Structure 1
Amino acid sequence: MREVSDAMGRPWTETGRHWWVPAVRGACAILFGILAVVWPLITLLTLVVLFGAYAIVSGAMAVYGAFRGVHPRDSRTWLAVSGVLGIAAGLIAWIWPGITALALLVLIAAYAVVVGVAEIVAAFARRRAGDTEWSHLASGVLAVIFGVLLFAWPASGALALTWLIGLFAILYGASLLLLAHRMREAGRRGAAGTAAHAV
C-alpha cells in the first residue's frame, strides 16, 4: 500500500488510525452470518431482527468512516450514501415486523447490491488516490454477486436461503477484517516512517 496524501493533504497512512471502523463492520457481518448458518430453524422474525441490527450498525460505521476521513475524499460520498441506505434498510426491517419472506429477500438483495456498488466505486477512488488495496474492491464485488444471486433465485423465501445469506455475510465480514488489518499495518508503517524522518 503506497503512502500518499489524500485530497486534504493528509498522509494516506493516517487512515490507519481508523482501522477499527471496517473491523467493527466485519465482525458484525461474521456474527450475523454465523447465526444464520448455525441456526437452521431460525424464524422469519428473528432473521428480520438480526438483519436489521446488522444493517444499522454497518451503515452507521460506514457513515462514521465517510465523515471522519477514513477514506479518500472522492470515495466518501458513496460510502456515506451506502451507510445511510444501510441504516434505512435496517429500520425498514424493524418497523415492518410482519414482512414476508419474499419482501425480506428483496430487501437484503437490494441492500447488498447498493452497498457493493458503493464500495466498488470507493475502491476505484482509492486507487486513483494512489492506494493499491484490493480488499475493498473484493468486498464490493462479493456484495454485488450475492445481491444478484438473491434477485435471480427462485422465490422460495428468505428462510430457505439462510445458508446463502450466512455464507455471504461471513465472506463479506472476512474481507472487511482483512481491509482493517491492512489499514492498521499501513498506519503503523506511516507512523514509523514519520518518526524516522523526524529523527
Structure 2
Amino acid sequence: MTSIPSTDNPKTEAMNDMLANNWWAVALRGVVAILFGIAAFAMPMVTMLSLVVVFAAFSFVDGVFGIIAAVRGARKGERWVWLLLNGILGVAAGAVAILYPDITVLAFVILVAAWALISGTFMLISVYRLKIDHGRLWLAIGGIANIVFGILLVISPFIGALVLTFWTGAHALVLGGTLLVLAYRLRSHRTGLPSNLATSGAA
C-alpha cells in the first residue's frame, strides 16, 4: 500500500521552497491562461483555425514555463518529474496544433481533452507534495478544473466550434484564476516568512 508523501520530510520541504521561489512562473502561466480565456470570449465567432492557433500558443507557452520551473528545481537536486512531464505535454500539444492548423473540430476536441485530462492528473499527483499553506487547495482546484473540462469534451465530442470556444474560454479563466491565487500563496512563502511579512517585503 502506497502512502501519501509527508510534507515534513527534507525532500518535500525543498520542493515546496523551490516552487515558492519560482512563484513567478506559476503567475505567468495564470496570466497566459486568463489572456487566452479573454481572447476566446472576445471573439465568439472565431474560426476553427484561429482557435487552434490561439490554443497552440497558450499550450506551448504554458508548457515552456512548466519546463523552466522543473529545470530550476532539478538544478537544486530535486526530482520534478510530474512538473516536467506536464510542461512537455503542453509543448507537445502546442506543437501538434501548430503542425496541423487545419485540424478538424473532432480531432481538436480529442487533442484538447487528452491535454486537459493528463495535465489535470499530473497536477493532482503533485498536490500531495505541496503544503496546505503553500496553496495545495488551489493546485487541486486547477487539476480538478482540467479533468472536468476534459471529461466534458470526451462525453460531447461533436460540439460545435462556437460552444467549444466558450467552454475553452471558461476553463482557461478558471484555471488562470486558480494559478494566480496559487502563485500569490507561494510568493508569501518564498523567504520562509509569515504571509503578512513576506508580502510586505519586511526583513
| TM-score, normalised with respect to structure 2 | 0.83
Give the Cα separation in 2 of the matches to 1:126 and 1:143.
18
Instruction: Give the CA deviation at 1:13.
Output: 3.9
Q: Does 1:121 align with 2:140?
A: no
Q: Which has the higher contact order (CA 8 A, sep 6+)?
A: 1
Q: Which residue of 2 aligns with 1:196?
A: none
Give the Cα separation in 1 of the matches to 2:31 and 2:82.
22
Q: CA RMSD in A?
A: 2.9
Q: Give the match's secondary structure for 1:155.
A: coil
Q: Which residue of 2 aligns with 1:166?
A: 169
Give the Cα separation in 2 of the matches to 1:187 and 1:171.
25
Q: CA 1:32/1:130 → structure 2, altered by over 3 Å: closer, same or farther?
A: closer
Instruction: Give the CA deviation at 1:17.
Output: 2.3
Give the Cα separation in 2 of the matches to 1:138 and 1:158.
26
Give the Cα separation in 2 of the matches to 1:15 and 1:100.
38
Give the Cα separation in 2 of the matches to 1:8 and 1:124.
10
Give the Cα separation in 2 of the matches to 1:180 and 1:72.
22
Match of 1:156 among 147, 155, 159: 159
Unaligned runs of 5+ residues in structure 2 are 1-6
Q: Which residue of 1 aligns with 2:100?
A: 96
Q: Which residue of 2 aligns with 1:78?
A: 82
Cα distance per residue 1:26-79 (max 9 Å; x no partner): 1010111111112111011110110000000001111111221299946x2111
Give the Cα separation in 1 of the matches to 2:12 and 2:157.
47
Q: Give the match's secondary structure for 1:187.
A: coil
Give the Cα separation in 2 of the matches to 1:82 and 1:40.
29
Unaligned runs of 5+ residues in structure 1 are 194-198
Note if contact 2:135-2:186 (Cα within 8 Å) is conserved in structure 1.
Answer: no
Q: Does 1:139 align with 2:139?
A: no
Note if contact 2:60-2:90 (Cα within 8 Å) is conserved in structure 1.
Answer: yes
Cα distance per residue 1:169-196 (max 9 Å; x no partner): 0000000000000000112443869xxx
Note if contact 1:101-1:159 (Cα within 8 Å) is conserved in structure 2.
Answer: no
The one-letter amino acid paired with 1:172 is L
Give the Cα separation in 2 of the matches to 1:58 and 1:11.
20
Give the Cα separation in 2 of the matches to 1:11 and 1:149.
33
